[in-house]
């Protein structure tokens, strides 16, 4: 049976003159189309993940492509049984992905974009290094076979690792990758700025590679930033690379510790989940604030009376009085 919902993942580096005015208009568009998710608006562009009924998502993509600023957006579309989010947030920020590399403009210079087929053809060559630019909790549950991974808690730490990369791989061809491609835009541009000469990026990221190349040699699952947490991408030679935080058995079941004070985000197998009632340790199991465990290890954030219309200065109205 056809899944009725779509999940959209996209970004676009394109100047937005008045981010706050655009945010307001764009938020209203998403409300009209019954879309949920997260969108970041900046003067450098857009970064979004949304979910909605297929027809509503189609209308959204048509509206975006009709705007010359966003005509080149490459939407990654995944079918779903239901919404991947419970609310809508459209926010303005300094960057559309927090990197701290404010001087980098991917629209001016960035790594060579490789299609999934081109990436697949190049990735195993002896003069190539495949570089994962994501955070440690992301690549812990899945990464490309033989990829170089970085011990970073967030993307802001990427520049701190470049000197180390330069010592080992400066004369190699660097193939960067991430979930949907956005981090690679700045990461590859920064590598070029730092003296690397042959820098490439997987266009559309792991998600597009799974859709167009079957995900071959991507080991484990791909971490995503919605209610699914981690998704399968490899239809050719899948495997599990992560281990249960508690017992060490193979497990790609990413959960949050039921103790909200801890909230550790790691793989925990179903057996340990049951034994520790959703906690990551015996200490957390006994914590007085421990959340009820429903077997999923996922805890929805409190909406706290969330009102998506709050803060609007302009509203669409019916015909104004004469």
pTM over 0.75: yes
Residues 6+ apart with CB under 8 A from 226: 7, 37, 49, 51, 84, 85
- Whether 247 is catalytic is no
Nearest to 162, CA basis, from 186, 138, 127, 128: 186
Scan for tokens 């945010």, then name that residue: 23
pLDDT tens-digit map of 252-264: 999 999 999 999 9
- Per the document, the length of the chain is 322
How far apart are the C-alpha atoms of 109 and 70, rounded to whole Å? 18
Residues 6+ apart with CB under 8 A from 260: 289, 290, 291, 299
How far apart are the C-alpha atoms of 252 and 243, rounded to whole Å? 7
- Ranges of residues in the chain whose predicted pLDDT is under 50: 303-306, 314-322
pLDDT of residue 39: 97
Tokens of 214: 């079957």
The answer to whether residues 149 and 219 touch, using CB atoms and an 8 Å cutoff, is no
pLDDT of residue 307: 56
The catalytic residue among 12, 30, 178, 244 is 178
Taken in order of first residue, the domains within the chain and their CATH numbers are: 5-92 (3.30.70.100), 112-220 (3.40.250.10), 242-299 (no CATH)
C-alpha dist (Å) from residue 287 to 89, 278, 290, 295, 298: 32, 12, 5, 18, 18
Return the CA Rg of the chain: 21
pLDDT of residue 303: 47
User: Strands 36-42 and 45-53, how do they pair?
Assistant: antiparallel
Q: Is 294 exposed, middle or buried (0-12, 13-18, 19+ CB in 10 A)?
A: exposed
How far apart are the C-alpha atoms of 46 and 63, rounded to whole Å? 14
């Amino acid at each position: 049976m056809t899944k009725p919902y779509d999940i959209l993942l996209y970004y676009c580096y394109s100047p937005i003159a008045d981010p706050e005015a655009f945010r307001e208009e764009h938020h209203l568009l998403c409300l009209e189309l019954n879309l949920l998710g997260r969108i970041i608006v900046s003067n450098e562009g857009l970064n979004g993940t949304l979910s909605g009924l297929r027809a509503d998502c189609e209308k959204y993509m048509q509206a975006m492509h009709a705007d010359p600023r966003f005509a080149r957006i490459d939407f990654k579309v995944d079918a779903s049984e239901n919404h991947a989010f419970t609310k809508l947030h459209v926010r303005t920020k300094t960057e559309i992905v927090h990197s701290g590399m404010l001087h980098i403009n991917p629209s001016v210079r960035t790594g060579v974009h490789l299609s999934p087929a081109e990436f697949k053809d190049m990735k195993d060559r002896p003069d190539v290094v495949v570089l994962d630019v994501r955070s440690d909790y992301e690549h812990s549950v899945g990464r490309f076979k033989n990829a170089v991974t970085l011990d970073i808690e967030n993307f802001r730490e990427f520049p701190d690792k470049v000197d180390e990369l330069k010592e080992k791989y400066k004369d190699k061809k660097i193939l960067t990758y991430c979930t949907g491609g956005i981090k690679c835009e700045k990461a590859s541009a920064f590598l070029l700025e730092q003296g690397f000469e042959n820098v490439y990026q997987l266009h559309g990221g792991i998600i597009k590679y799974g859709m167009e190349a079957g995900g071959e040699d991507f080991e484990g699952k791909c971490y995503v930033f919605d209610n699914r947490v981690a998704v399968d991408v490899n239809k050719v030679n899948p495997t599990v690379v992560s281990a249960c935080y508690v017992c060490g058995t193979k497990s790609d079941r990413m959960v949050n510790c039921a103790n909200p004070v801890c909230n550790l985000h790691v793989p925990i197998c179903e057996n340990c989940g049951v034994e520790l009632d959703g906690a990551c340790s015996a200490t957390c199991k006994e914590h007085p604030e421990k959340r009820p465990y429903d077997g999923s290890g996922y805890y929805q954030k409190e909406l706290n009376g969330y009102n998506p219309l709050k803060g609007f200065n302009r509203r669409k109205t019916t015909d104004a009085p004469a």
